[in-house]
Structures are given as C-alpha cells and as structure tokens.
Amino acid sequence: MESKENSIHKFSVLMSVYAKEKPIWMRQSLDSIFTQTLLPDEVILIEDGPLTPELHEVISDFQKRHSNLHVFPQKENRGLGAALNIGLQYCRNELVARMDTDDICKPNRFEKEITFMSEHPDVDICSSLIDEFVENIHCVHSQRTLPEHHKEILKYARRRCPVNHPTVVYKRSKVIAAGGYQGFPEDYILWINMILTGCKFYNLQESLLWFRFSYDVFRRRGGWKYAKDDIRAQWHFHQMGFTSFYEFLTNSFIRGIVRLTPNFLRIFTYKYILRKKND
C-alpha cells in the first residue's frame, strides 16, 4: 500500500533502547514502524548506554534502509525518562509518537492517531487501547482499556495512569512546558503535570498496538521497595494539588496491598480485575 504523506501529517517517532533489549523484538518493533500506512518523516532513537553487538547490527541494518532513522548514542544508561527527555530535544516536529522497542504497532496506528490530532487541534495528547500478548501477536490474552473523553480521563487519573504510554502521540511543546519526564513513575507524573498545565486528553477507543507482556514483570515489581516508591509518588501527587488527602490514603493502601501480596495474588488481580480479558 502506498503511504500517505502530507505536510500536515508530519510527525516524529521517539524511541529508546538499552542493552537488555532482545534484538529480535527490536527488529519486529522497527519493522512495524516502517510498514505503516502513514510513515513518520523521522524516527529518533536514543541508545541509552552501551549496547550489544547484536542490537547494533539491527540498528545498522535499518539505518541502511531508512535514512530517516536518526540514532543518538549515550555514554551511560540513565533510564527511560532521561533518555526520552534527550530524544525530545532532537525531535523536529510538534507531533511526537512514542514507541517502545519491544512492542508492535498495528499497521494503521499512526494514520489513526496523527489524523485525529490534526483534525482536533485542541487536543494535546492522545493514546489508544492496547492488546497485550504473550510470545506472539496471535496470543492476545487481554486488553488495556481507558476512558475516552477528557472529563472522564481526569477522574480516572486520580486513581490510575490515564493513558497508555506505548501508544501516545503528544505535542512536543506541551510536554516540555510540563517539565518532561521526571520522578517515578516518570510517565504518570508527566501526565498529571500536563493536566495541571491545562492540556486536553483523549483516548481512541480501539487497539492500535500489540504490547509485549510477561508475568515476570509483576513478579519483579513486588516488595517493599516498589510499595514505598508508590507511596512517595502518591504523596507527590497530593502535594501537587492533584489528589485529596483521602485519595492519597486510599491509593497508597490499595497499591501497597498489590505490591506486598504474594506473586500469584498480584497476577490474579492483574488478570481478573485490572484488565479486560480477551475472549
């Protein structure tokens, strides 16, 4: 299919990769970007510290075939938020689409999101639903759903992250004005800062991305360390004036229970309470 290219639809894709990424996953991710029905005019890739030879081979292969893939190596690993802040400085377009190097875009993702943003200039950030898969995209087991409209999103944000970060398209100037990525969790804090600076949100009610999921993530994210990090983040949201003291207490309590429960209960909560199961 011939790609749709129009100056109105110019946008950047922002990515970051680090040494532990699997080369085959990164290849699948980049393939999904460069086979879209609407192509980006630049892809900004931050190498977050030294990479493996296998990852360099994947990147080199795509650079040879796609002159709009711009790579910016960093001497040390500083984490996703810091890498994305660096990448934002290199993006030349106002509209920026986020993409992770282990996920897979559906073929019309950019066309749907960029067209929506172009037709709704009052919206500063949008995302979509995502299909969570294990091993391959034919093994989708759940879908991460979100409220659609701004008013509903504001209410939802007081309890949970209001957008799916792997699918967001946002206005670069609004992200920078809100302070960029900072703290823990870096994306959630950014969304709240954007809300407090008056940004308008929207979530497309269809899945535009396959999200690579592993229950090992939930096993690793249990324990006191993550519980304390959650409490600090919730206290920060309260100090920002975004949540009430009651919301701070209830959010901290619920998140603390999830972090400190045995792995099988945490996974059960995720599978049967926090996600829409795929039939």
pLDDT band at 1 (very low <50, low <70, confident <90, very high): very low
Residue where a domain terminates, one of 160, 179, 213: 213
- Please tell me the least confidently modeled range out of 22-36, 113-127, 251-265: 251-265
- Kindly state whether residues 189 and 260 are assigned to the same domain: no
Task: Please calculate the CA angle 126-143-262 and round it to the nearest 5 degrees.
Answer: 115
Q: What does the pLDDT look like over 131-179, one tens digit per residue? A: 999 888 888 888 899 999 999 999 999 999 999 999 999 999 999 999 9
- Kindly state whether residues 240 and 199 are assigned to the same domain: no
Residue 20 has a pLDDT of: 94
Residue 2 has a pLDDT of: 40
pLDDT band at 218 (very low <50, low <70, confident <90, very high): low
Mean pLDDT of 226-232: 85
Can you read off the two tokens belonging to residue 98?
């986020």
Higher pLDDT, 238 or 276: 238
The closest alpha carbon to 10, from 110, 116, 95, belongs to 95
- Please tell me the least confidently modeled range out of 22-26, 87-91, 116-120, 253-257: 253-257
- Kindly state whether residues 221 and 205 are assigned to the same domain: no
| Number of domains forming the structure of the chain | 2
- Please tell me the least confidently modeled range out of 51-60, 179-188, 189-198: 179-188
Can you read off the two tokens belonging to residue 173?
């100037």
Q: CA 26 to CA 22: how far, in whole Å?
A: 6
What are the beta bridge partners of residue 140?
133
Q: CA 218 to CA 270: how far, in whole Å?
A: 9
Residue 3 has a pLDDT of: 45
pLDDT band at 5 (very low <50, low <70, confident <90, very high): very low
Residue 87 has a pLDDT of: 98
The angle, 0 to 180 degrees and rounded to 10, between the axes of the packed helices 53-65 and 23-33 is 20
The angle, 0 to 180 degrees and rounded to 10, between the axes of the packed helices 245-260 and 224-239 is 170
Residue 161's Cβ-count burial label (10 Å; 0-12, 13-18, 19+) is: middle
The angle, 0 to 180 degrees and rounded to 10, between the axes of the packed helices 186-196 and 80-90 is 50
| Domain assignment of residue 2, yes or no | no
Residue 38 has a pLDDT of: 96
- Kindly state whether residues 99 and 182 are assigned to the same domain: yes
| Domain assignment of residue 94, yes or no | yes
- Kindly state whether residues 20 and 62 are assigned to the same domain: yes
pLDDT higher than threshold 70 for residue 125: yes
Higher pLDDT, 277 or 147: 147
What share of the chain in percent tops pLDDT 70?
A: 88
Strands 276-277 and 140-144, by their bridges, are: antiparallel
Q: For residue 75, what is the DSSP state?
A: S
Mean pLDDT of 92-111: 97
Residue 255 has a pLDDT of: 81
Q: For residue 10, what is the DSSP state?
A: -
- Kindly state whether residues 55 and 132 are assigned to the same domain: yes
Residue 4 has a pLDDT of: 44
Residue 17 has a pLDDT of: 98
Query: What are the respective helix, strand and coil percentages of the chain, to the nearest 5?
Result: 45, 20, 35
Residue 39, H or E segment: none
Domain that holds residue 197: 7-213
Residue 6's Cβ-count burial label (10 Å; 0-12, 13-18, 19+) is: exposed
Residue 256 has a pLDDT of: 80
Mean pLDDT of 84-89: 97
Block residue for tokens 């106002």: 94
- Kindly state whether residues 130 and 227 are assigned to the same domain: no
CA dihedral 243, 248, 250, 254 (to 10 degrees): 110
Residue where a domain terminates, one of 190, 213, 236: 213
Residue 278 has a pLDDT of: 55
Q: What is the pTM of this model?
A: 0.89
Average pLDDT across the chain, whole number: 90
| Residue 50 exposure: Cα atoms within 13 Å on the Cβ side | 2
Mean pLDDT of 112-138: 94
CATH number of 113's domain: 3.90.550.10
- Kindly state whether residues 11 and 116 are assigned to the same domain: yes
Can you read off the two tokens belonging to residue 110?
């950019």
- Kindly state whether residues 89 and 12 are assigned to the same domain: yes
What are the beta bridge partners of residue 143?
131, 276
